[in-house]
Chain A
Amino acid sequence: MLRLKPFRYLRPAGAEEAAAIVAEFDGEAMLVAGGTDLVPKLKRRQMEPSILVGISHLEELRSLRSTPEGGMEIGAAITLAEVTRNKDLEMHWPGYVQAASLVSSPPLRNLGTIGGNLMVDTRCNYYDMTYEWRQAAGFCLKKDGDACRVAPARPHCWAVSSSDTAPVAIALDATAVLAGPEGRREVPVESLYQDDGIHYTTKQPYEVVTSLHFPPRAGWRSSYVKLRRRGSIDFPIGGAAVALVIEGGRIIDSRIVLSGVASHPVVAVEAASYLVGHSLDPELVAEVADHAAKPVKPLDNADLAYTWRKRMVKWLVTQAVLEAGK
């Protein structure tokens, strides 16, 4: 049986305390919510913390309510399954619910949290392997090694952002509240990510995401289309989140965000802007999708041929735009 290496597990009384512990044991401690991403990675020794700081038991991370202005607040420890059962979310932020319902498999969604999903580690099939495999194949830059095995030319990690919900949260202008030892700050979800497979988040390692906030979005339609081999369990190997405001048959605002194509969710600002002012005409959609897909350069570090994944981006965007516009 594949087992965990020893660690201590701490159960702080609040988010600030959790942050303080992780800050104190700099590099030694990690936050854990549902553990559905972290535990397998610990078993494969992709991270080797000696302390885990649990946060999923914290009541303050378990809010799930509409805000007075008509937005939505979701505590970071709310599970993906709870999101899929929420009627308000379903009604006003369908793309987010769709994304949550497409994450891995039903038993994992009963345990995995939305905070964990935002912070899920980037993936690469040279890295998401056991210690023994990585030792045999040669360790890589992201853990234990000194060169990238996919693109060795430069010391950069191209591991892929694989969160299904992050792109939709970005498309819907969601913000996240982060708690540190010194207090809280609220940031746009988009600003949480950066183009680096190792340091994929701008958040400090000790900062706890306490909640996610969706601003009121009367009139917004949203969708998420996910690409994966099987109808369940699999991580995205491409995904497109789209949010649109359509008035009088014309698009007046739009967002397109891609998952599974780079080390961060990719916001296709320009492509999305081409939709504005037009009706949902299939030819225009195809053009926009083409535009969104053009800069994407998948590498051979995820499932199926990367050339095929590249051509699928256009299809994903097309589907997502049409779905949102329905």
Chain B
Amino acid sequence: MRVVGKPLAKVDARAKVTGSTLYADDLIFSDTLFCKLLRSPHPYARIKHMDLNAAKAVEGVVAVITGNDLPVKYGILPISQDEHALESEKVRYVGDPVAAVAAFDEETAALAAEKIRVEYEVLDPVTSIEEALSEPTDEPIHDYGGPANIHKMAALSFGDLEAGFAEADHIREDVFFYGGNTHLPMEQHSAIATYVNGKLTLWSSTQTPHYVHRTISKVLDLPMQAIRVVATPHGGGFGGKTDPFSHELAVCKLAMVTGKPVKCTLTREEVFYAHRGRHPVLMWVRTGMKSNGRITAMHFKTALDGGAYGSYGVATMFYTGALQTTTYDIPAYRFEGARVFTNKAPCGPKRGHGTPQPRFALELHLDKMAEDLGLDPVEVRRRNYVSPNTTTVNWLRITSCGLEEITDQVLQASSYVNRQRAVGHGMGFAVASYLCGAGLPIYWNKLPHSECLIKLDRGGVTVYCGATDIGQGSDTVIATLVAEELGLWPSDIRLVTGDTGFAPVDLGSYSSRVTFMAGNAALDAARKLRNLLAEVAAESMGCLPGEIVTGDGKFGTLSFEETTQLAQERFGAISTVGSYRPPDLAGPYKGSGVGPSPAYSYSAAVVDIDVDPETGIIKVNKVWLAHDIGRSINPVSVRGQVEGGVYMGLGEALMEEQAYRKAMPKQPSMLDYKSLTSVDMPEVETILVETDDPEGPYGAKEVGQGPLLPVVPAVVSAVHDALGVWIDQVPVTPDKIMKALDAKAKGQAPRFGPKSFPDIAYPQYVKVDTPHVATQAI
């Protein structure tokens, strides 16, 4: 291959290093108005009355709107349509938007928003999972779900759990808590809308232009064809820009009301309120094991603090139980999950969506079981690894799987097995797995998940695809795949992406689906185009199309331009289309929509730390990360994703936390919400393992999310290695380590973490037939 797998420059890098890339907040149109949202100062309150007069009277104000102007409910999932762009009856968290002002400048809009008088009747806020589970003092936060403030519950059972536990030589239970955290993209959300000739256009820093498009159509009651959503170049998403947001809908409405372009850029504090970050999850796990380390049964329970709205939460809840089985062959498995509403900023999907939390619990739980049985924690894992081309007990189809290889390589590179043992120094090992795109779309239908159109004419090659580059490099992947097929360089390809008006649909940059799905759609279209070109080139050269070799801008002996001309003389206008829809992968049970993916990536991490027993302060010395990438389309980009994932995993393990005092966000600023600086970041050694996935484009799998996952448990495992204490709660701040050391010194359990798991009235579990016999003997 000529361009696939080569360390070529990203197609958008040059514009970014010169400052010429236009992000959403850099856009400005003639006569643009500026919008400011008024947000609730109360975590939970009924709106009694709103008086807009003083705001409207401010000089420079053009329009003020409230929930009455945007009465239609929406939500990213069809089953949780529970948000209004602006609430008019009830506010559910500090920061819930209630009104929007458009004015000649941002200062005036802010001033006017402050003059809106809102009379609230304050209600008693629900601030924790425990409170949400018990009978509320005031009415429940939403009028659906329940009992109490439970949003959604699930209970699934695969295989014979009781028999599995009966067979075990050792059974252990643990409780873990994963603190919530947020995406903190460097770019604050921003959107600008125009309404001209009955057509609405929105430019927004969104990861999911298609779903924003759908939502605008619903909320503003506009036909789909009257809307165009453009995902602008992105200053970071990580899942934080995958929901439709109030400010997006507000600028659309205000553009329609005023007839002028309207722009809204959130302040950093507002980004913390918009949130949709990692759910705090309380977890309980019970596992049965043979004395040789083979798992016989596992029972996993989760409780998610969802915050004020549904968002992706139902999917998140299912994800907390879905991927335990994609690394370990668990013959009998039961999952019970519950998501609750609380009066805090809504949680949603963040890098790894719903899986870092259970992965953290699972990996540490296995470490503890290994310790109980006097076994090597790595061996215990190996004994249970899934094999390629198998189906898990919960009906997930595993194809390519490089678990063994990544384990070998990461252990070897890090010398984990022969590590130096000293108090205060430790190393930890963990593995994980992630999806290459959700197997099922958000709206269940049989339509393609990704479509691509390639136009060829005298202007060269232009690729149109709805995929959205959020910095992960999806434009580069698409250009590289098309260039490979056509014998060009990625920089020869013009791209129109992330634009619902001009490019065919792609569902969005979430669930690590773009390389796999948009990549396959682009390949489909590119191969069709290549065939057309090869046909005319072969005819001209007097050979068979199969004999045409492409590369360096040539089709056989013809130049690409000559071939294009011949093809157009022969066929007239030329364009080809391609699409991708994953195979039907859902298992035969309700709730099986979450978890299936056309392929799974695998990651293994070793973390080396020093931790001072006098202070509890951790210094991370180095991280080794081996990743089963299938095949890397661009090794520089892949390495960047691994390093970025490791960075974010370390942040979550050590310091990142969306903390609250009751219902008040405690640290909504970049100073107080701690993220690693360059001096806090250790060296990362990236090891790529290529397993050539049979369905991935050129064998490629995902890398955007997976590498984050094993880092978090590996850090905690290293702390245990260093000091002999378990920190069963992240982030692992130094005070927690000191508390665990205190407990150890007093002869109590050497740990810090939640003491118990609440009694949750999960529904009677659904018993699902298993698709398989265990791939390994028990």
Binding site for B on A (CB under 8 A): 1-3, 105, 125, 129-130, 132-133, 135-137, 229-235, 303-305, 307-308, 311-312, 315
Give the residues in chain A near B671, CB-CB below 8 Å. Answer: 233-235
Give the residues in chain B near A2, CB-CB below 8 Å. Answer: 267-269
Count of A-B residue pairs with CB < 8 Å: 67
CB-based closest 3 A-B pairs: A308-B735, A231-B679, A136-B41
Q: Known interface pairs A230-B677, A231-B679. Does A308 touch B734 (Cβ–Cβ under 8 Å)? A: yes
User: Is B738 part of the binding interface, using a Cβ–Cβ cutoff of 8 Å?
Assistant: yes
Give the residues in chain A near B107, CB-CB below 8 Å. Answer: 3
Most buried by A among B110, B680, B735, B738: B735
Complex Cα spacing A129 to B94, Å:
14
Binds A, one of B215-223, B328-336, B474-482, B661-669: B661-669
B41 touching A231, Cβ below 8 Å: no
Give the residues in chain A near B668, CB-CB below 8 Å. Answer: 129, 133
Give the residues in chain A near B733, CB-CB below 8 Å. Answer: 304-305
Which range contains the number of B residues in contact with the other chain? 20 to 34
A230 touching B267, Cβ below 8 Å: no
Q: Smallest CB-CB separation from A234: which chain B residue? A: B671
Can you list 29 A-B contacts (CB < 8 A)?
Answer: A1-B106, A1-B265, A2-B268, A2-B269, A3-B106, A125-B667, A129-B669, A130-B267, A130-B269, A132-B269, A133-B665, A133-B668, A137-B661, A229-B674, A230-B677, A232-B677, A232-B678, A232-B680, A233-B671, A233-B677, A234-B671, A303-B672, A304-B735, A305-B735, A308-B616, A308-B734, A308-B738, A311-B738, A312-B615
Scan residues 254-278 of chain B and give those whose CB is less than 8 A from a CB of chain A: 265, 267-269
Complex Cα spacing A230 to B677, Å:
7
Give the residues in chain B near A231, CB-CB below 8 Å. Answer: 677, 679-680
Complex Cα spacing A235 to B671, Å:
9
Give the residues in chain A near B664, CB-CB below 8 Å. Answer: 133, 136-137
A132 touching B41, Cβ below 8 Å: yes
Complex Cα spacing A105 to B680, Å:
13
Most buried by B among A105, A130, A229, A234: A229
A304 touching B734, Cβ below 8 Å: yes
B679 touching A229, Cβ below 8 Å: no
Q: Known interface pairs A130-B269, A135-B41, A136-B664. Does A307 touch B680 (Cβ–Cβ under 8 Å)? A: no
B615 touching A315, Cβ below 8 Å: yes
Complex Cα spacing A136 to B665, Å:
10
Which residue from A1, A129, A229 sits with its C-beta under 8 Å from B655?
A229
Give the residues in chain B near A133, CB-CB below 8 Å. Answer: 269, 664-665, 668
Complex Cα spacing A132 to B270, Å:
10
Q: Smallest CB-CB separation from B667: which chain A residue? A: A125
Q: Smallest CB-CB separation from A316: which chain B residue? A: B615
Q: Known interface pairs A1-B106, A232-B677, A308-B738. Does A125 touch B672 (Cβ–Cβ under 8 Å)? A: yes
User: Is B39 part of the binding interface, using a Cβ–Cβ cutoff of 8 Å?
Assistant: yes
User: How near does chain A come to B446, taking the closest CB pair, in angstroms?
Assistant: 45
Scan residues 644-690 of chain B and give those whose CB is less than 8 A from a CB of chain A: 655, 661, 664-669, 671-672, 674, 676-680
Q: Smallest CB-CB separation from B675: which chain A residue? A: A230
User: Is B614 part of the binding interface, using a Cβ–Cβ cutoff of 8 Å?
Assistant: yes
User: Is B42 part of the binding interface, using a Cβ–Cβ cutoff of 8 Å?
Assistant: yes
Complex Cα spacing A2 to B669, Å:
12
B735 touching A232, Cβ below 8 Å: no
Chain B 606-647: CB-based contact to A (< 8 A → 1; otherwise 0): 000000001110000000000000000000000000000000
Q: Smallest CB-CB separation from A130: which chain B residue? A: B269
Give the residues in chain A near B41, CB-CB below 8 Å. Answer: 132, 135-136
Complex Cα spacing A230 to B665, Å:
21
Give the residues in chain B near A130, CB-CB below 8 Å. Answer: 267, 269
Complex Cα spacing A305 to B733, Å:
9
A129-B669, A230-B677 provided; 11 other pairs, C-beta below 8 A?
A1-B106, A2-B269, A125-B666, A230-B676, A231-B679, A232-B678, A232-B680, A303-B674, A304-B735, A308-B738, A312-B615
User: How near does chain B come to A225, taking the closest CB pair, in angstroms?
Assistant: 11
Complex Cα spacing A135 to B95, Å:
12
Give the residues in chain B near A305, CB-CB below 8 Å. Answer: 733, 735
User: How near does chain B come to A221, taking the closest CB pair, in angstroms?
Assistant: 23
Complex Cα spacing A125 to B671, Å:
11
A136 touching B106, Cβ below 8 Å: no
Give the residues in chain B near A230, CB-CB below 8 Å. Answer: 655, 674, 676-677, 679-680
Q: Smallest CB-CB separation from B41: which chain A residue? A: A136
User: How near does chain A come to B125, taking the closest CB pair, in angstroms?
Assistant: 12
Complex Cα spacing A305 to B659, Å:
13
User: How near does chain B come to A308, taking the closest CB pair, in angstroms?
Assistant: 4
Scan residues 703-759 of chain B and give those whose CB is less than 8 A from a CB of chain A: 733-735, 738
B39 touching A132, Cβ below 8 Å: yes
Complex Cα spacing A305 to B657, Å:
14
User: How near does chain B come to A282, taking the closest CB pair, in angstroms?
Assistant: 13
Give the residues in chain B near A129, CB-CB below 8 Å. Answer: 668-669
Give the residues in chain B near A137, CB-CB below 8 Å. Answer: 661, 664
B614 touching A307, Cβ below 8 Å: no
User: How near does chain A come to B426, taking the closest CB pair, in angstroms?
Assistant: 20
User: How near does chain B come to A105, taking the closest CB pair, in angstroms?
Assistant: 8
Chain B 18-54: CB-based contact to A (< 8 A → 1; otherwise 0): 0000000000000000000001011000000000000
Q: Smallest CB-CB separation from A229: which chain B residue? A: B674
Q: Smallest CB-CB separation from B614: which chain A residue? A: A315
Q: Smallest CB-CB separation from A3: which chain B residue? A: B107
User: How near does chain A come to B436, taking the closest CB pair, in angstroms?
Assistant: 34
Complex Cα spacing A308 to B752, Å:
14
Give the residues in chain B near A105, CB-CB below 8 Å. Answer: 677
Give the residues in chain A near B665, CB-CB below 8 Å. Answer: 133
Complex Cα spacing A241 to B187, Å:
38
User: How near does chain A come to B538, taking the closest CB pair, in angstroms?
Assistant: 59
Complex Cα spacing A304 to B738, Å:
12
Q: Smallest CB-CB separation from B677: which chain A residue? A: A232
B267 touching A1, Cβ below 8 Å: yes
Which residue from A136, A235, A312 sits with its C-beta under 8 Å from B94?
A136
